[in-house]
Amino acid sequence: MSSMVFVNFPVADVARSTAFYEKLGFKKNEDFSNETSSSMVWDDHFWIMLLSHDFYRQFIHGKEIADVRTTSGVLVAFSLESAAAVKKFAETAKANGGDYYQVEMGIPEEQMFGLEVQDPDGNMLEPTWMAI
């Protein structure tokens, strides 16, 4: 049996974040979405759940939501089919209220390429391509 990965991100505005992730190529699954959350599907195995702060708090049992603009809690890496696809993903994020930057790892782009992408709330994604 293969596993599915569900990444949960707290977001300030579910509708704004839903529109952002749709621009990146995620599809909203209406069956698991409502006014407090959006279920965003990349493929059969990778989903991002966008949760309003109030809804997200129900899952963290008294902990505070990290300010991911100043504190890193997680960096979610996932593969894309090419370096060009990674660049397009990052540029689309920037054009729609997010941002990105590159970490120089000393690995030639022909071997591996990734960018650090931030959504409008500061949650981090790392689209990556590797020649395997």
DSSP string computed for 4-29: -EEEEEEES-HHHHHHHHHHTT-EE-
pLDDT for 100 equals 98
- Mean pLDDT for the stretch of residues 71-93: 95
* Closest-CA residue to 90 (of 45, 10, 9, 25): 25
| Alpha carbons 87 and 23: distance in angstroms, whole number | 14
φ/ψ of 82, rounded to 5, equals -165, 165
Domains and CATH numbers, the chain: 1-60 (3.10.180.10), 68-132 (3.10.180.10)
Token pair listed for 63 = 């902990």
- Whether 42 shows a pLDDT value over 80: the answer reads yes
pLDDT for 50 equals 98
pTM to 2 decimal places: 0.91
